[in-house]
Structure 1
Amino acid sequence: MDAVIRSCHTHGRPDLAERLTRRRTRLLHPQLRVLVLGGPAQGRSRLINALINAPVCGIVPDSETEVPTVVQHAAAPVAHLVQRDSPAADWTAAVGMRSRIPLTTERLGPSLAEVTASLPPGTPLHADVGVPRTLLANGLVLIDAPALSFSAPGGAVAAAQDLADRAGADLVLYVCETGRPLGDAEVGVLAALGQVFPGLVVVLTKADYAADWRRDLAEARQRLHRAGINAGVTAVSSALRAQAVRAGDDALNRESGFADLIVHLRQMVEAKPDRLARATAAALGRIAVQELAVPLRAELDKQDDDAVPESARHLQVTHQHLDDLRKSTVRWQNRLSDEVTDLMADVEHDLRERVKAIIADADEFFGEADPAKSWDEFEPWLRQSLQELAQTSMSWLSERTEWMARRTADMFPLEAGDVLPPTALAVTGGSSDGAYGLDAPPVAAFTPGQKLFIGLRGSYGGIVMFGLATSLAGMSLINPISIGGGALFGGKSVHDESKTLLKRRQAEARAAVRQYVDDIFAKLNKDSRDSVRRAQRALRDHFMAVTEDLQEAAMESLRNAKAAADRDAAARELRGRTLRAELTRLAELHTQSLALGERNSA
């Protein structure tokens, strides 16, 4: 028991060690404390009174025993009502004189009733009665416990164990009325008591009232045997015992069954230091070792069943996270490259379409307008259109760049969090206001001299043509009609030349605008490409820095997880060896308990 108690402390069970220590102390005491248990009105008090031939138990009229009564040997009759410190206090604990209230032995029942009524309700009490009896002289103590209640499932078992513990019992007599079979709840109580109280005895009382008490005795033994309960069974009659004592009739005393019970109790008093102590130590040690081994086996089984411990699972998750991060690095680099290629193509296409629209508007304008007269009106429109083109293109490029950054950031794992740049990427390009002006193309002036020369050259043909025609009519070559025809042909020549010069100026203006717009397109396209490349480099550097930070953090987490997994594996291995060693040691104690019990049985 000392070894088992030390094991209880080792395994963090001070409560179990305390219970075993109390039982060990009681086993070393010379007294044999016998607890008499049973249900209501089963004859417990009469059994004790008949054993010692004294009315000391069940002496409160018309009341089931509520105050436990401890009956032991004394040189002269004496009785006290003992107030315990708490309901859980042992009845064997020493108390001061202030806690012991004397009772009148000549009128024990009324005295007990009076004193009990004067105390506050719920005060933990028990009666301590001493009588001079030979049966009690060798250390036998009889304890009349309160009746057990079987109304709540399992409550009777706990109540019986609690009563036995507080009473400091070494032996239990369970009292049941003859003629009534043992109930399932009672069998449960007996099974629990039989494990920790070797020498358990079931006493069938009131045998004188049973029609066939021998059959009841045999059935009770068979019921206990089927339940695996090692307990003795006997039948007694308190009425016959009282009559035999009064008449001094030994035969009637033997017929009452008390003679055999008294012999058994005396044998148990003599056997307590040796056989009973060994049997009790074996039973308690076996049960305690089994109780200690249960959590150890459960922990060891959990270690065996848990193929992948938490630290190893964390290491696997960390490895997977690092692999995902490496894959995401390839994905975001490919995504960024594809987005940049698409963006450059889209920007060039957008610029080209917008430039085509401006050129088409300029061609339409110069299809009718004279550049020499309307250039001052056209040039501000062209400058404003080109400026709006540049601003719109840069704004759209900035939005696409931010969208490209978000698309690239989506390639990172979710646990990476927000990996976008802290500020928006600046997209610059194009020239400042006023840089899109275009000087008017050089236009040859249509001077009066040129008009006069072209008019004379054209009128010459008209004069000759009309002069020859009129000469047939006898008129001179130069006449009013020929002069009028010359003037008409000269005016038409000037008009035709003027239209030719206008179309030439318009063509030159359209060519100049187209060339200029193409130059602006080339410049804006280059600026856009440069902006995209700058954004690409900025995003690449940013995401690469983020990737390096994430990889460094993942590598650090991997190193920590690896170290934790190694420590956990070592700790699990050490804990497993410790558990197996403890289970082996507990198995040795269990084997010793079994051997002690077998030697006691032999």
Structure 2
Amino acid sequence: MSTVIEVIGTAITAAEAYHRDDLAARLRQSRARALSPEVRVLVAGGFKQGKSRLVNALVGASACPVADDTTPPRTTVVRYAGTPGPAPAARPADTVEIGLPSGILRGLTLVDSPVLEPADAILIVSDASGPCTQAELDMIDQARALAPIVVCVLSKVDLYPGWRDVAESTEAATGLPVVPVSSELRWHAMTTADTALNDESGFPALIAVLRAELDAERVTRRVAAHEVLAATGDLTATMTAEVAALRAADAEQRGIRWQQVLNDGISDLIADIDHDLRDRLRDVLKVAEAELDAVDPAKVGDDFAEWLRGKEAQCTAETFEWMVTRARWLAGHVAEQFGDDHALPEIRRPGELAVGDFEPAAGEKFGVGQRLIVGMRGGYGGTLMIGMASTIVGVAMINPLSIGAGLLLGGKTVQEERKRLLQRRQAESKAALRKHVDDVIFQAGKQSRDMLREIQRTLRDHFVAHAEDVHRALVDAAAERKTRIRDLNAELARVRDLERVARELVA
């Protein structure tokens, strides 16, 4: 017993030395249980699985209230006492302690609790209605971390004829001993003093398991070993991870990595910005051509040029804004390669794009004199044709009909000439528009590439300086890392010695 207490005390000292107050508190609870003459057995399980009836049937008294939908959950502690009754000791409001003169309770304390908590042993109660649910399997895994001894109790076997199959599947799924019991048969056997019925209830087998597994000295050793091994495993994992992290520090690889990320990012960004700019301006070109097809460029030249200037400015501004956003993201991505937090360089917004104004084609003029000449040329042919036809029927060549035909054809000729000149102006304006948009794409692309190269130089200079600072810091810390690794290895050796002693307790 003194060896057990000494091992737990050493583990507490180690946990406190490594600033693991959580482990130290749990180990103190383990030491208190080791010093106690009682073995603490927690009875746990899901709602309506029969754990309270199991405790009552085990001690032969109605110690634990059977919960229903309206009964608030509470913890009932049942321990041995010469006379039955509630324990006088102070306790939490949701905990009831009861003393009973039951032989099974000599050296044993049963705890009927709605939640799992550390104990010397845990009985997981599940009824025989079907195989263990995932929630019950998770509860069993949690119980294994809280107690060195875990036993599955299959309740209500009197209600389910297929309980044997359920018991086999439970044992296969959990790898734990499964004890089938019936609390109802146990109560009836105690009432009628029927020994055969008591054997059929399964409780003698459960009591035998408890007596075999819960020898006081054996339990103390197993509990101590369980808690110490849990603490040493946690400490070993923490220190091993720290040693691995210290050995993995490599400033040169980190320096190469950030340069690759920066160069690749700028190359991708140049291609993306160029594509985005062309795509936006081509959309503007399609809309502008459709507008020119519907108007006379000579009449709306100034308004159209102002509208086009605004659309081009909007497109280039949106592209440049996206470029700055992407560049800032790239700066943050490069900074992540260093694995530390430091201020990033400021990325300037590019200035406005300076592009010449668009001038629609004016085309040749079609004034009054030109219209008169074109009209006369068209009207002369019409007058001559109708006049010659009139002479056949004996009418003079110049007559109202020939004059009217001449006027009609002259007007039509003027309209056709006006339409031809409009289409020519539109075609010339669209050709000028395409050349203008190409110039805008060229100038904006040149400006964006220059800006991105400036961003690349800014980021490169910043991170080169930061990499030098990091390298100097790593060089300065190299000796400290080696010392820390040596100290950690020494501490790991001490923890593993403690782990070996804990395993010897069980052996």
Q: 1:128-527 counterparts in 2 under 5 A?
A: 128-136=97-105, 138-146=106-114, 159-160=115-116, 164-165=117-118, 169-225=119-175, 231-269=176-214, 271-273=215-217, 275-308=218-251
| Matched residue, 2:34 | 27
**Counterparts of 2:243 and 2:44, CA distance in 1:** 41
Q: Does 1:6 align with 2:18?
A: no
1:30 is paired with a residue whose SS is coil
| Matched residue, 2:77 | 70
Letter in 2 for 1:254: D
**Deviation readout 1:399-427 (Å, 9 max, x if unpaired):** xxxxxxxxxxxxxxxxxxxxxxxxxxxxx
Question: Residue 278 of structure 1 contacts residue 596 of structure 1 at CA under 8 Å; is this kept in 2?
Answer: yes
Q: Does 1:126 align with 2:69?
A: no
By how many angstroms is 1:309 displaced?
8.9
Change over 3 Å in CA distance of 1:195–1:561 after alignment to 2: closer
**Counterparts of 2:151 and 2:174, CA distance in 1:** 11
**Counterparts of 1:280 and 1:258, CA distance in 2:** 25
Aligned mate of 2:52, from 45, 48, 71: 45
Letter in 1 for 2:241: A
| Matched residue, 1:513 | none
Q: Does 1:578 align with 2:472?
A: no
**Deviation readout 1:12-38 (Å, 9 max, x if unpaired):** 101211111111211221111211100
**Counterparts of 1:277 and 1:295, CA distance in 2:** 27
**Deviation readout 1:464-506 (Å, 9 max, x if unpaired):** xxxxxxxxxxxxxxxxxxxxxxxxxxxxxxxxxxxxxxxxxxx
Change over 3 Å in CA distance of 1:79–1:244 after alignment to 2: same
**Counterparts of 1:577 and 1:61, CA distance in 2:** 59
Change over 3 Å in CA distance of 1:575–1:246 after alignment to 2: same
**Counterparts of 1:561 and 1:250, CA distance in 2:** 80
**Counterparts of 2:216 and 2:243, CA distance in 1:** 39
**Counterparts of 1:241 and 1:63, CA distance in 2:** 27
Q: With structure 2 as the length reference, what TM-score do the two structures score? A: 0.53
1:210 is paired with a residue whose SS is coil
1:70 is paired with a residue whose SS is strand
Question: Residue 27 of structure 1 contacts residue 272 of structure 1 at CA under 8 Å; is this kept in 2?
Answer: no
Question: Residue 27 of structure 1 contacts residue 170 of structure 1 at CA under 8 Å; is this kept in 2?
Answer: no
**Counterparts of 1:4 and 1:182, CA distance in 2:** 36
Letter in 1 for 2:246: Q
**Counterparts of 2:471 and 2:202, CA distance in 1:** 76
By how many angstroms is 1:72 displaced?
1.4
Percent identity of paired positions between Structure 1 and Structure 2: 34
Letter in 1 for 2:477: D
**Counterparts of 1:62 and 1:302, CA distance in 2:** 52
Change over 3 Å in CA distance of 1:19–1:220 after alignment to 2: same
Q: Which has the larger radius of gyration?
A: 1
**Counterparts of 1:309 and 1:132, CA distance in 2:** 74
Question: Residue 207 of structure 1 contacts residue 235 of structure 1 at CA under 8 Å; is this kept in 2?
Answer: yes
**Counterparts of 2:473 and 2:96, CA distance in 1:** 63
By how many angstroms is 1:562 displaced?
9.7
Letter in 2 for 1:251: A
**Counterparts of 1:567 and 1:279, CA distance in 2:** 47
By how many angstroms is 1:141 displaced?
1.3
**Counterparts of 1:184 and 1:3, CA distance in 2:** 38
Letter in 1 for 2:249: D
| Matched residue, 1:357 | none
| Matched residue, 2:459 | none
1:207 is paired with a residue whose SS is coil
**Deviation readout 1:215-274 (Å, 9 max, x if unpaired):** 22111111112xxxxx321000001101111111111111100011122223344x122x
**Counterparts of 1:259 and 1:124, CA distance in 2:** 34
Query: Which runs of 5 or more residues in structure 2 are unaligned?
Result: 1-7, 256-467
Change over 3 Å in CA distance of 1:139–1:63 after alignment to 2: farther
**Deviation readout 1:104-142 (Å, 9 max, x if unpaired):** xxxxxxxxxxxxxxxxxxx84211111221221x22111
Letter in 1 for 2:235: L
| Matched residue, 1:55 | 62
- The number of equivalent residue pairs is 295
Change over 3 Å in CA distance of 1:266–1:65 after alignment to 2: farther
Question: Residue 20 of structure 1 contacts residue 284 of structure 1 at CA under 8 Å; is this kept in 2?
Answer: yes
Question: Residue 39 of structure 2 contacts residue 219 of structure 2 at CA under 8 Å; is this kept in 1?
Answer: no
**Deviation readout 1:134-166 (Å, 9 max, x if unpaired):** 221x221111112xxxxxxxxxxxx52xxx14x
1:55 is paired with a residue whose SS is coil
| Matched residue, 1:438 | none
**Counterparts of 2:178 and 2:72, CA distance in 1:** 24
Question: Residue 120 of structure 2 contacts residue 149 of structure 2 at CA under 8 Å; is this kept in 1?
Answer: no
By how many angstroms is 1:586 displaced?
2.0
By how many angstroms is 1:192 displaced?
2.2
**Counterparts of 1:207 and 1:217, CA distance in 2:** 10
Letter in 1 for 2:40: R
Change over 3 Å in CA distance of 1:308–1:595 after alignment to 2: farther
1:203 is paired with a residue whose SS is strand
| Matched residue, 2:5 | none
Change over 3 Å in CA distance of 1:561–1:290 after alignment to 2: closer
**Deviation readout 1:522-541 (Å, 9 max, x if unpaired):** xxxxxxxxxxxxxxxxxxxx
**Counterparts of 1:262 and 1:196, CA distance in 2:** 22
Question: Residue 76 of structure 1 contacts residue 131 of structure 1 at CA under 8 Å; is this kept in 2?
Answer: yes
Question: Residue 175 of structure 1 contacts residue 204 of structure 1 at CA under 8 Å; is this kept in 2?
Answer: yes
Letter in 2 for 1:37: A
Letter in 1 for 2:94: L
By how many angstroms is 1:195 displaced?
3.3
By how many angstroms is 1:62 displaced?
6.3
**Deviation readout 1:408-458 (Å, 9 max, x if unpaired):** xxxxxxxxxxxxxxxxxxxxxxxxxxxxxxxxxxxxxxxxxxxxxxxxxxx
Q: With structure 1 as the length reference, what TM-score do the two structures score? A: 0.45
2:41 is paired with a residue whose SS is strand
Change over 3 Å in CA distance of 1:233–1:65 after alignment to 2: farther
**Counterparts of 1:595 and 1:74, CA distance in 2:** 35
Letter in 2 for 1:596: L
By how many angstroms is 1:6 displaced?
1.5
Query: Which runs of 5 or more residues in structure 1 are unaligned?
Result: 83-93, 100-122, 147-158, 226-230, 314-557
